[in-house]
Chain A
């Protein structure tokens, strides 16, 4: 599903737009309306964050949204139920974005089964790098979910083929060292790095971390198969609500089209 959407966008001659939102944020019952609004505003794939109490790969914006969500009573079960409700309405592929511990507690095999049943298409675990836990990685790889793996600017070249080998859907390139969060400028070397990465792997490459404006989205869209926008969107949802978030997404989409 994820790779066919990316292939279709490639045929259209544009990069896929991949927004990130945190489940249960800004309010307990906003997950389904937010997902639907994003799908209708032109999202090609959606990353849905399952909040964790200790989001150490995230910057202040997504940290705040995670804490708000947990205060709103968000649970793994609840997020999967919301996802199933969204899936009944829209086809837009969803990647669950989270940390390992909630899965371990839920039971990894049960989670993979239940998430697929709820309509998830992919899984991204920020704290499960390639090689960290072969057994667990094997379980995700064999599940119906695409295993979205990350490559960082610090990743050694000889690691990249191995990471790509174990992944599916797309490869997520972290645009800079650091945590998630909006930045005013993209790094100079980004185009070169993404080009090198795409030359080495068979998977489509999406770029994320720090992309916050339509101009940046256009710039990244010119070099990558997918553009991930997270913190900037989460902040707008936080401050101005769902409609404003959908308008922002439509602007990003217009910049890519």
Chain B
């Protein structure tokens, strides 16, 4: 079934949504565990988003920008040499790396910036890990002439220097965050603190399917264009649905965007690949779905890395974008319901895949994406039928960091 109509799944919400309309949760997960000060802003956002979904002008503008500015639809590419390396003849890449700014993140930031404009909010804040969401937010703000402040952990400012400068070029202010673990988790805390303080003038563009309702479902909807395009392209290119759909999972926005259209297709296996860091046993990883337990962080109940006293445990990954101890609540639901399967690959496997895809296909993937590639290289041979990988972003931002990790010194 090819889904008709606009970019937002208005016509498909009834088919694929798994939100309980009474509680805005995904099964037990999700919710709105936030300070009272934010409740009004979340209520306003829920209402504005519902109105936007019903407004053909909103959909038309988003569609036009997606085509002319972002460059959609992105291609589906038959990665034959990668397939050979994986022992599988039918591996396909959904090329989100070919979006403007080099990753899927812009699908969401354009949508949310349009929504902020409708709500009359001219100041935008965002958190970023690898910097891709920060760049995509800064880009949307330049496009719509909005003030933009991006919070980024000090550690990530160091390992993603190129993206910091890109955000500044685009007119954004990057505020380094030095509290806590100095990565994405603490950048998110700081963005929420800013939002609590400046809530009347400011919209917070969360970069993943995390946070309080309505963010997880709204970000999913804006990202769901990935899966809807890929599903239609699969039917057209290889005449059937893929057997397996694979995506990396940090907060989980590219995975959720890719999975969403396939959730009702029960014959399609959905696989989320988390960052195994130095290995699960080492305790240095970001695999919240594989090794975490349910808890509340950043406004929603979801799987979480935490210690025995309920303190959030530091995450680790070679990839800044996956270095997050939580995960989107809908993924927790897909895991517990058995609809999706979550696994992990280590830093080392991801780094190897980073090289493999570059050498075999002429595509340098983001380190985040390299986790999905690594999984298919390791386990793809066992899949009967086409494998579809979400190539969520390009790896230019990671080149310097990888060179450093591999002992070649700093390139910049």
- Chain A residues engaging chain B, CB cutoff 8 angstroms: 52-57, 59-60, 63, 67, 70, 75-76, 99-106, 126-130, 132-133, 150-156, 159, 163, 174, 177-179
Contacts and interface: CB of A to CB of B under 8 A. Distances in A.
A102 B310 CA distance: 4
Given A54-B180, A56-B298, A105-B306, A155 B36 contact: yes
A139 B17 CA distance: 30
B159 interface: no
Given A56-B192, A177-B196, A70 B31 contact: no
Interface in B13-68: 31-41, 43
Contacts of A56: 35, 189, 192-193, 196, 298
B311 A129 contact: no
Contacts of A105: 295, 306, 308-310
Nearest to A78: B309
Given A53-B311, A101-B310, A130 B196 contact: no
A75 B32 CA distance: 26
Contacts of A156: 40, 43
Contact of B33 (A53, A76, A133, A174): A133
B11 interface: no
Contacts of A102: 309-311
What 10 A-B pairs have minimum CB-CB distances, sorted nearest first?
Answer: A105-B310, A102-B310, A178-B197, A152-B37, A53-B311, A154-B40, A129-B36, A53-B312, A56-B189, A152-B36
A102 B34 CA distance: 15
A126 B35 contact: yes
A101 B37 contact: no
B37 A154 contact: yes
Nearest to A77: B309
B289 interface: no
A57 B35 contact: yes
B66 to A, nearest CB: 33
B185 interface: yes
A100 B196 contact: no
Contact of B180 (A53, A99, A128, A154): A53
A177 B312 contact: no
A76 B196 CA distance: 27
B297 interface: yes
B350 interface: no
B410 interface: no
A154 B199 CA distance: 9
A255 to B, nearest CB: 27
A154 B33 contact: no
Contact of A159 (B37, B39, B200, B312): B39
Contacts of B193: 56-57, 59, 178-179
Taking chain B's interface residues, is the majority helix, strand, or loop, or is none over half, making it mixed? Answer: mixed
Given A105-B306, A179-B196, A127 B34 contact: yes
Given A152-B36, A156-B40, 6 more contacts: A70-B311, A100-B33, A101-B304, A101-B311, A129-B35, A163-B36
Interface of B: 31-41, 43, 179-180, 185-186, 189, 192-193, 196-200, 294-299, 304, 306, 308-312
Given A53-B311, A102-B311, A129 B40 contact: no
- Determine chain A's interface SS by DSSP, over half rule: loop
Most chain A CB inside 10 Å of its own CB: which residue of B186, B306, B310: B310
Contact of A130 (B36, B180, B311, B312): B36
A129 B34 contact: yes
Contacts of B296: 99-101, 104, 127
Contacts of A52: 310-311
A132 B311 contact: no
A174 B306 CA distance: 30
A127 B33 contact: yes
Contacts of A129: 32-36, 39
A163 B304 CA distance: 29
Contacts of A151: 36
Nearest to A134: B23
Contacts of B310: 52, 76, 101-106
A52 B295 CA distance: 13
Contacts of A153: 37
B312 A75 contact: no
Contacts of B196: 56-57, 177-179
Contact of A152 (B35, B180, B192, B312): B35
A101 B312 CA distance: 9
Nearest to B294: A104
Contacts of A178: 37, 193, 196-197
Contacts of B297: 54, 101
Contacts of B33: 100, 127-129, 132-133
Contacts of B37: 152-154, 174, 177-178
A237 to B, nearest CB: 19
Nearest to A57: B35
B224 to A, nearest CB: 26
Contact of A76 (B34, B185, B200, B309): B309
A52 B33 CA distance: 15
B179 A174 contact: no
B39 A155 contact: yes
Q: Which of B41, B299, B309 has the most CB of A within 10 A?
A: B309
Given A101-B306, A105-B308, A106-B310, A127 B35 contact: yes
A177 B198 CA distance: 7
A177 B37 CA distance: 6
> Looking at B196, B197, B297, B311, which has the most chain A CB atoms within 10 Å of its CB?
B311
B311 A67 contact: no
A106 B312 CA distance: 14
Contacts of A104: 294-296, 310
A67 B193 CA distance: 17
B41 A101 contact: no
A137 B32 CA distance: 13
Given A102-B309, A105-B309, A177 B180 contact: no
